[in-house]
Amino acid sequence: MANVIDCGEQESLSRAAEMVEGSLFDPYMYRVEMPFSAVYYPLGFPLQIATNSLDVLAKAQEIWGRYERWIVMEPMRLQVGVRDDGSRECPGMVTPRAHQHLMMGIADAGNFFICDLMRGVSFAWVTAAAMEHPLYLRSHILESAALSPIANRYTAPVHAACVARQGRGVLLCGESGAGKSTLALGCARAGWTFVSDDAVFLVHGRNDRQVLGHCRSMRMRPAAAEMFAEVRGRPQSPRMRGKPSIHIATSELPNIRAEMHCQADFVVFLNRAESGAQELAPYPRDAARRFLERHLNGWEPLRRDQLASVDRILTADVYELRYRELEWAIHRLERLVREGS
Protein backbone atom coordinates (compact mmCIF):
# COMPACT_ATOMS: atom_id res chain seq x y z
CA MET A 1 0.00 0.00 0.00
CA ALA A 2 1.30 3.50 -0.85
CA ASN A 3 2.23 5.72 2.05
CA VAL A 4 -0.29 8.47 2.80
CA ILE A 5 1.11 11.89 3.69
CA ASP A 6 -1.10 14.18 5.75
CA CYS A 7 -1.46 17.89 5.02
CA GLY A 8 1.13 18.94 7.62
CA GLU A 9 3.74 16.56 6.24
CA GLN A 10 2.96 17.65 2.67
CA GLU A 11 3.45 21.30 3.59
CA SER A 12 6.79 20.55 5.23
CA LEU A 13 7.95 18.59 2.20
CA SER A 14 6.87 21.41 -0.12
CA ARG A 15 8.82 23.95 1.90
CA ALA A 16 11.86 21.70 1.89
CA ALA A 17 11.60 21.18 -1.87
CA GLU A 18 11.56 24.93 -2.41
CA MET A 19 15.04 25.26 -0.98
CA VAL A 20 17.82 23.83 -3.15
CA GLU A 21 21.34 25.06 -2.49
CA GLY A 22 19.95 28.11 -0.72
CA SER A 23 17.60 29.25 -3.51
CA LEU A 24 13.96 28.66 -4.39
CA PHE A 25 13.24 25.37 -6.11
CA ASP A 26 12.42 26.42 -9.70
CA PRO A 27 12.53 23.45 -12.12
CA TYR A 28 10.81 25.44 -14.89
CA MET A 29 13.04 28.50 -14.34
CA TYR A 30 10.07 30.82 -13.92
CA ARG A 31 11.86 32.94 -11.35
CA VAL A 32 15.12 33.60 -13.17
CA GLU A 33 15.44 37.35 -13.33
CA MET A 34 16.03 39.01 -16.69
CA PRO A 35 17.31 42.41 -15.55
CA PHE A 36 18.80 43.62 -18.85
CA SER A 37 16.69 44.77 -21.78
CA ALA A 38 16.91 46.83 -24.96
CA VAL A 39 14.91 47.42 -28.17
CA TYR A 40 16.23 46.58 -31.64
CA TYR A 41 14.74 46.71 -35.14
CA PRO A 42 15.35 43.54 -37.18
CA LEU A 43 14.05 44.26 -40.70
CA GLY A 44 12.60 47.47 -39.26
CA PHE A 45 10.27 45.65 -36.81
CA PRO A 46 10.54 46.66 -33.12
CA LEU A 47 11.81 43.85 -30.88
CA GLN A 48 12.35 44.09 -27.12
CA ILE A 49 14.91 41.64 -25.75
CA ALA A 50 15.09 40.81 -22.02
CA THR A 51 17.94 38.67 -20.73
CA ASN A 52 20.13 37.80 -17.77
CA SER A 53 23.30 38.31 -19.83
CA LEU A 54 24.75 41.55 -21.15
CA ASP A 55 26.59 39.45 -23.74
CA VAL A 56 23.23 38.66 -25.38
CA LEU A 57 22.50 42.37 -25.77
CA ALA A 58 25.99 42.93 -27.15
CA LYS A 59 25.39 40.27 -29.79
CA ALA A 60 21.94 41.70 -30.61
CA GLN A 61 23.52 45.13 -31.01
CA GLU A 62 26.06 43.65 -33.41
CA ILE A 63 23.32 42.02 -35.48
CA TRP A 64 20.62 44.71 -35.49
CA GLY A 65 22.21 47.85 -34.10
CA ARG A 66 22.34 49.58 -37.49
CA TYR A 67 18.71 48.85 -38.42
CA GLU A 68 16.17 51.64 -37.97
CA ARG A 69 12.49 51.33 -37.16
CA TRP A 70 10.39 51.04 -40.33
CA ILE A 71 7.24 49.27 -39.08
CA VAL A 72 4.99 51.01 -36.54
CA MET A 73 3.60 48.43 -34.11
CA GLU A 74 3.88 47.25 -30.52
CA PRO A 75 7.30 45.65 -29.99
CA MET A 76 7.61 41.91 -30.27
CA ARG A 77 9.17 40.38 -27.17
CA LEU A 78 12.03 37.91 -26.88
CA GLN A 79 13.40 36.63 -23.57
CA VAL A 80 16.81 34.96 -23.68
CA GLY A 81 18.15 33.14 -20.63
CA VAL A 82 21.74 31.97 -20.32
CA ARG A 83 22.83 29.23 -17.92
CA ASP A 84 25.99 27.21 -17.43
CA ASP A 85 25.24 23.49 -17.50
CA GLY A 86 28.90 22.51 -17.41
CA SER A 87 29.16 21.70 -21.12
CA ARG A 88 31.99 23.20 -23.15
CA GLU A 89 31.26 22.03 -26.70
CA CYS A 90 29.27 23.93 -29.30
CA PRO A 91 25.67 22.58 -29.41
CA GLY A 92 24.42 20.63 -32.40
CA MET A 93 22.21 21.78 -35.26
CA VAL A 94 18.84 23.24 -34.32
CA THR A 95 15.80 21.27 -35.53
CA PRO A 96 12.74 23.43 -36.37
CA ARG A 97 9.18 22.27 -35.64
CA ALA A 98 5.81 24.04 -35.67
CA HIS A 99 2.16 23.51 -34.80
CA GLN A 100 -0.41 26.15 -35.75
CA HIS A 101 0.75 29.40 -34.12
CA LEU A 102 3.62 27.80 -32.18
CA MET A 103 7.13 27.44 -33.60
CA MET A 104 10.26 26.08 -32.00
CA GLY A 105 13.87 25.26 -32.75
CA ILE A 106 15.62 22.72 -30.52
CA ALA A 107 19.26 21.66 -30.39
CA ASP A 108 19.08 20.08 -26.92
CA ALA A 109 17.56 20.68 -23.48
CA GLY A 110 19.81 23.68 -22.86
CA ASN A 111 19.65 25.34 -26.29
CA PHE A 112 16.27 26.08 -27.86
CA PHE A 113 13.71 28.76 -28.65
CA ILE A 114 9.89 28.76 -28.74
CA CYS A 115 7.72 31.39 -30.44
CA ASP A 116 4.04 32.28 -30.23
CA LEU A 117 3.66 33.63 -33.76
CA MET A 118 0.29 35.28 -33.23
CA ARG A 119 1.32 37.17 -30.09
CA GLY A 120 4.86 37.99 -31.22
CA VAL A 121 6.27 36.56 -27.98
CA SER A 122 9.29 34.23 -27.87
CA PHE A 123 11.70 32.84 -25.33
CA ALA A 124 14.99 31.01 -25.59
CA TRP A 125 17.50 29.31 -23.35
CA VAL A 126 21.13 28.89 -24.29
CA THR A 127 24.14 27.46 -22.51
CA ALA A 128 27.35 29.25 -21.67
CA ALA A 129 29.02 27.00 -24.24
CA ALA A 130 26.74 28.33 -26.99
CA MET A 131 27.64 31.88 -25.97
CA GLU A 132 31.28 31.05 -26.72
CA HIS A 133 30.38 30.36 -30.37
CA PRO A 134 28.96 33.69 -31.60
CA LEU A 135 28.19 32.59 -35.18
CA TYR A 136 26.22 29.62 -33.86
CA LEU A 137 24.36 31.81 -31.35
CA ARG A 138 23.50 34.31 -34.05
CA SER A 139 22.32 31.93 -36.78
CA HIS A 140 20.64 29.20 -34.73
CA ILE A 141 19.12 31.09 -31.81
CA LEU A 142 18.91 34.88 -31.93
CA GLU A 143 18.09 35.43 -35.61
CA SER A 144 15.82 32.40 -35.77
CA ALA A 145 13.84 33.37 -32.66
CA ALA A 146 13.54 37.02 -33.68
CA LEU A 147 12.65 36.42 -37.33
CA SER A 148 10.14 33.58 -36.83
CA PRO A 149 7.22 35.92 -35.96
CA ILE A 150 8.24 38.35 -38.71
CA ALA A 151 8.50 35.65 -41.39
CA ASN A 152 5.25 33.93 -40.42
CA ARG A 153 2.86 36.46 -38.90
CA TYR A 154 3.73 39.83 -40.42
CA THR A 155 5.28 39.03 -43.82
CA ALA A 156 5.59 36.45 -46.56
CA PRO A 157 9.19 35.20 -46.90
CA VAL A 158 10.61 34.76 -50.39
CA HIS A 159 13.68 32.63 -51.08
CA ALA A 160 15.44 35.25 -53.19
CA ALA A 161 18.26 37.72 -53.25
CA CYS A 162 17.46 41.33 -54.08
CA VAL A 163 19.40 44.18 -55.69
CA ALA A 164 18.23 47.53 -57.02
CA ARG A 165 19.34 49.87 -59.78
CA GLN A 166 17.98 53.36 -60.40
CA GLY A 167 15.30 52.73 -57.76
CA ARG A 168 14.07 49.53 -59.45
CA GLY A 169 14.44 46.28 -57.53
CA VAL A 170 15.15 42.85 -58.99
CA LEU A 171 14.39 39.66 -57.05
CA LEU A 172 16.85 36.89 -57.91
CA CYS A 173 15.03 33.60 -57.26
CA GLY A 174 16.21 30.02 -57.42
CA GLU A 175 17.07 26.89 -55.53
CA SER A 176 20.07 26.75 -53.20
CA GLY A 177 23.18 26.81 -55.33
CA ALA A 178 21.57 28.72 -58.20
CA GLY A 179 23.96 31.63 -57.68
CA LYS A 180 21.70 34.15 -55.93
CA SER A 181 24.30 35.37 -53.42
CA THR A 182 27.11 35.41 -55.98
CA LEU A 183 25.10 37.43 -58.49
CA ALA A 184 23.85 39.80 -55.76
CA LEU A 185 27.41 40.50 -54.60
CA GLY A 186 28.57 40.87 -58.20
CA CYS A 187 25.84 43.44 -58.86
CA ALA A 188 26.64 45.29 -55.62
CA ARG A 189 30.31 45.51 -56.60
CA ALA A 190 29.17 46.95 -59.96
CA GLY A 191 27.29 49.81 -58.30
CA TRP A 192 23.87 48.30 -57.59
CA THR A 193 22.18 48.74 -54.20
CA PHE A 194 22.33 45.56 -52.13
CA VAL A 195 19.12 44.59 -50.30
CA SER A 196 19.49 40.88 -49.52
CA ASP A 197 21.48 37.83 -50.56
CA ASP A 198 19.12 34.94 -49.79
CA ALA A 199 15.72 36.00 -48.42
CA VAL A 200 13.33 38.93 -48.72
CA PHE A 201 10.07 39.63 -46.91
CA LEU A 202 6.80 41.00 -48.31
CA VAL A 203 4.98 43.07 -45.68
CA HIS A 204 1.26 42.31 -45.43
CA GLY A 205 -1.40 44.89 -46.17
CA ARG A 206 0.55 47.14 -48.53
CA ASN A 207 -0.55 48.33 -51.98
CA ASP A 208 2.93 48.30 -53.51
CA ARG A 209 5.70 45.75 -54.04
CA GLN A 210 8.04 46.92 -51.29
CA VAL A 211 10.34 44.16 -50.03
CA LEU A 212 12.55 44.03 -46.93
CA GLY A 213 15.94 42.37 -46.77
CA HIS A 214 18.97 41.66 -44.56
CA CYS A 215 20.99 44.47 -46.06
CA ARG A 216 23.54 44.67 -43.22
CA SER A 217 25.04 41.25 -43.81
CA MET A 218 25.41 38.51 -46.38
CA ARG A 219 26.25 34.82 -46.26
CA MET A 220 28.32 33.33 -49.03
CA ARG A 221 29.18 29.75 -49.91
CA PRO A 222 32.86 28.90 -49.35
CA ALA A 223 33.28 28.50 -53.13
CA ALA A 224 32.67 32.26 -53.50
CA ALA A 225 36.21 32.81 -52.20
CA GLU A 226 37.46 31.69 -55.62
CA MET A 227 35.68 34.67 -57.24
CA PHE A 228 35.77 37.41 -54.60
CA ALA A 229 38.93 38.36 -52.70
CA GLU A 230 36.88 39.91 -49.87
CA VAL A 231 35.44 36.48 -49.02
CA ARG A 232 38.78 34.71 -48.60
CA GLY A 233 40.08 33.84 -45.15
CA ARG A 234 36.78 34.36 -43.31
CA PRO A 235 35.48 31.71 -40.86
CA GLN A 236 32.72 29.33 -41.83
CA SER A 237 29.57 28.70 -39.81
CA PRO A 238 26.95 25.91 -40.18
CA ARG A 239 23.51 27.20 -41.09
CA MET A 240 20.08 26.02 -39.96
CA ARG A 241 20.14 22.97 -42.22
CA GLY A 242 23.84 22.32 -41.92
CA LYS A 243 25.10 24.14 -45.04
CA PRO A 244 28.44 25.85 -44.42
CA SER A 245 28.51 29.59 -45.08
CA ILE A 246 30.72 32.61 -44.63
CA HIS A 247 29.15 35.56 -42.85
CA ILE A 248 30.18 39.07 -43.97
CA ALA A 249 28.97 42.44 -42.69
CA THR A 250 28.29 44.67 -45.71
CA SER A 251 29.90 47.56 -43.82
CA GLU A 252 33.20 45.68 -44.16
CA LEU A 253 32.98 45.61 -47.97
CA PRO A 254 34.39 48.65 -49.81
CA ASN A 255 32.06 50.74 -51.98
CA ILE A 256 28.95 48.63 -51.27
CA ARG A 257 25.67 50.54 -50.96
CA ALA A 258 23.06 48.76 -48.83
CA GLU A 259 19.38 49.56 -48.22
CA MET A 260 16.85 47.60 -46.16
CA HIS A 261 13.93 47.95 -48.60
CA CYS A 262 13.12 48.67 -52.23
CA GLN A 263 10.32 48.48 -54.78
CA ALA A 264 10.55 45.16 -56.67
CA ASP A 265 9.78 45.67 -60.36
CA PHE A 266 11.18 42.38 -61.67
CA VAL A 267 11.22 38.76 -60.51
CA VAL A 268 14.03 36.81 -62.18
CA PHE A 269 14.59 33.06 -61.83
CA LEU A 270 18.23 32.04 -62.20
CA ASN A 271 19.28 29.17 -64.44
CA ARG A 272 23.06 28.91 -64.35
CA ALA A 273 24.65 26.28 -66.61
CA GLU A 274 28.07 25.54 -68.06
CA SER A 275 26.75 25.42 -71.61
CA GLY A 276 23.84 26.66 -73.70
CA ALA A 277 22.63 30.05 -74.83
CA GLN A 278 22.71 33.00 -72.47
CA GLU A 279 19.40 34.83 -72.55
CA LEU A 280 16.61 36.47 -70.59
CA ALA A 281 13.24 34.90 -71.36
CA PRO A 282 9.67 35.19 -70.00
CA TYR A 283 8.94 32.79 -67.14
CA PRO A 284 5.49 31.23 -66.47
CA ARG A 285 3.73 33.10 -63.68
CA ASP A 286 2.08 29.91 -62.40
CA ALA A 287 5.47 28.23 -62.02
CA ALA A 288 6.77 31.31 -60.21
CA ARG A 289 3.80 31.20 -57.82
CA ARG A 290 4.40 27.51 -57.03
CA PHE A 291 8.03 28.27 -56.18
CA LEU A 292 7.21 31.23 -53.95
CA GLU A 293 4.45 29.37 -52.10
CA ARG A 294 6.77 26.56 -51.01
CA HIS A 295 8.25 28.60 -48.16
CA LEU A 296 4.99 29.92 -46.71
CA ASN A 297 3.45 28.91 -43.40
CA GLY A 298 1.30 25.77 -43.48
CA TRP A 299 -1.35 26.99 -41.03
CA GLU A 300 -4.28 28.48 -42.93
CA PRO A 301 -4.87 31.66 -40.84
CA LEU A 302 -1.25 32.70 -41.45
CA ARG A 303 -0.93 31.30 -44.96
CA ARG A 304 -3.94 33.27 -46.23
CA ASP A 305 -2.23 36.64 -45.70
CA GLN A 306 1.03 35.32 -47.11
CA LEU A 307 -0.65 34.14 -50.32
CA ALA A 308 -2.11 37.62 -50.81
CA SER A 309 1.36 39.13 -50.49
CA VAL A 310 2.77 36.63 -53.02
CA ASP A 311 0.04 37.53 -55.50
CA ARG A 312 0.96 41.18 -55.07
CA ILE A 313 4.67 40.63 -55.83
CA LEU A 314 3.75 38.63 -58.93
CA THR A 315 2.20 41.70 -60.53
CA ALA A 316 5.86 42.44 -61.41
CA ASP A 317 7.40 41.19 -64.67
CA VAL A 318 8.71 37.61 -64.32
CA TYR A 319 11.69 36.24 -66.27
CA GLU A 320 14.20 33.42 -66.38
CA LEU A 321 17.89 34.35 -66.71
CA ARG A 322 19.91 31.60 -68.39
CA TYR A 323 23.61 32.35 -68.06
CA ARG A 324 27.13 31.01 -67.73
CA GLU A 325 29.16 34.16 -67.11
CA LEU A 326 28.69 36.41 -64.11
CA GLU A 327 29.63 39.60 -65.97
CA TRP A 328 27.17 38.83 -68.77
CA ALA A 329 24.39 38.29 -66.21
CA ILE A 330 25.11 41.63 -64.51
CA HIS A 331 25.05 43.53 -67.81
CA ARG A 332 21.84 41.79 -68.89
CA LEU A 333 20.12 42.77 -65.65
CA GLU A 334 21.30 46.36 -66.13
CA ARG A 335 19.66 46.37 -69.57
CA LEU A 336 16.47 44.92 -68.06
CA VAL A 337 16.26 47.73 -65.51
CA ARG A 338 17.11 50.37 -68.13
CA GLU A 339 14.81 49.16 -70.92
CA GLY A 340 12.22 47.09 -69.06
CA SER A 341 12.86 43.96 -71.12
171-227 residue pLDDT tens:
999 988 889 999 999 999 999 999 999 899 999 999 999 999 999 988 777 666 567
- Read off the pLDDT band of 252 (50, 70, 90): confident
**What is the domain partition of the chain in residue ranges?**
25-155, 159-339
Summarised one tens digit per residue, pLDDT across range 130-163 is 999 998 999 899 999 999 999 999 999 999 999 9
Q: Is the pLDDT of residue 1 over 50?
A: no
Q: What is the pLDDT at residue 231?
A: 66
Name every residue whose Cβ is closer than 8 Å to that of residue 179 and which is 6 or more positions away in sequence. 270, 272
Q: Are 332 and 323 in contact (CB under 8 A)?
A: yes
Q: Which pLDDT tens digit goes with each residue over 81-95?
A: 999 999 989 999 899
Looking at domain 159-339, its CATH class is alpha beta
Q: How many CB atoms lie within 10 A of CB 99?
A: 9
Please state the pTM of the whole predicted model.
0.85
Query: Torsions phi, psi of 294, nearest 5?
Result: -65, -25
Please compute the mean of the pLDDT values over residues 107-112 and round it to a whole number: 96
